Copies of this chain bind each other. A is one copy, B any other.
Amino acid sequence: MKTTKKRSSDKKITLVDVADASGVSAITVSRVINQPEKVSESLRIQVQKAIDSLGYIPNQHASSLASSKSRVIGVAIPSLSNIVFTEVLRGIYEVMGAAGYKVLLVDTHYSPLEEEKMVRTLLSQSPEGLIITGGDQTKACQNFLQKARIPIVQIMELLADPIDMNVGFAHGRAGFDVVKHLLGQGYERIGFIGARMDPRVQQRMQGYKLALEQAGKFEKNYIVTTPEPSSIGVGGELFKSLMASTNGVVDAVFCVNDDLALGALFEAQRMNIRVPQDMAICGFNDIEAAEYVNPSLTSVSVGRYEMGVQASEMIIRVLNEKPIESKKVDMGYEIKKRASTSRL
């Protein structure tokens, strides 16, 4: 081993260094790393020893450039602080990690313009696949995505015209079903509380509206929304607003997610409104607290983790040129009927 450089730890160690140290050619070292079965065992061990002792770490950029394979999957979600997305992410990381893919994650802050910028960022890493949220991309963004010629899954909602693949569930129908459930429990004046009002929330609201209209019980002023992000605090505030603006006639509230619903529930308790006797409260997403809070909270359960898994597996199948059953997967949902809406 030559030590022309005294500070061997100063320079970055490359394939060639390992090759020199183990007396083979660079390409053989490359094979030891990427296709070990193509190298004889003795050489493999010899090279591996050199790799370990030098602490060699391959340069992924060089590898990607040479092979045009990045082993990167890009993921764009609207918000990092929303548990809904972090659970989807868990599913994605689980599957992608196991399959040897890195995940490059960006946060679009619910803005299509931001999303466009972020998608550019993702594409500049030459990802082999992309998972993005919803169908609200800008025209320019759609163009980029088309051109990329990589598998893309749009998640969270079902889209009429997906860019490539699509995994989600029907938010509108879920909202519709929630209202049917509340009506079935004998609640008559059903309010709606919404925050952030992204496309999926809007769909839930449309479902709510449709169901009430069909029942002849829709009242515009039973709807209270805010563009602010959801939180328990906001849920409490909106509940108070709803009560105030309707003089307390509302006897049920459909909250567009569980944070709002918990906020409404806790506020109702403070206002001495009995849930579910005098007031039904229904959430959405079925976070863990819904099951354990007192009274337990009715909510719409969605396979978030599974959605991440499903999207990832579809991409991997396509990358491995295996057939996929369908480009569009409806994950469904289930209304978990609990104490907070049970008057019967």
Report the minimal beta-carbon distance from A281 to chain B, rounded to whole angstroms: 14
A48 interface residue (CB < 8 Å to B): no
Q: How far is the CA of A144 from the CA of B54 in the complex (A)?
A: 10
Query: Are the C-beta atoms of B124 and A292 separated by less than 8 Å?
Result: no
User: What is the copy number of this chain in the assembly?
Assistant: 2
Q: Tell me which residues across on chain B come within 8 A of A337, comparing CB atoms.
A: none
Closest B-chain residue to A89, C-beta based?
A: B80
Given contacts A64-B61, A121-B102, A232-B289, contact A83 B83 (CB under 8 A): yes
Query: How far is the CB of A165 from the nearest CB of chain B, in Å?
Result: 9
Within the assembled complex, what's the spacing in Å between the Cα atoms of A106 and B270?
42
Max count, chain B CB within 10 A of own CB: residue among A70, A102, A123: A102
Digit string of A196-219 for contact with B (CB within 8 Å is 1, else 0)?
000000000000000000000000
Bitwise, A244-288 to B at CB < 8 A (1) or not (0) is: 000000000000000100110011011000000000000000001
Q: Which residues does chain B contribute within 8 Å of A151, judged by CB atoms?
A: 1
Q: Which residue from B144, B149, B262 sits with its C-beta under 8 Å from A292?
A: B262
Task: Report which A residues bind B (CB closer than 8 A).
Answer: 1-2, 9, 55, 57-62, 64-65, 70, 80-81, 83, 86-87, 89-90, 93, 97, 102-107, 120-121, 123-126, 143-144, 147, 149, 151, 164, 231-233, 236, 259, 262-263, 266-267, 269-270, 288-289, 291-294, 318
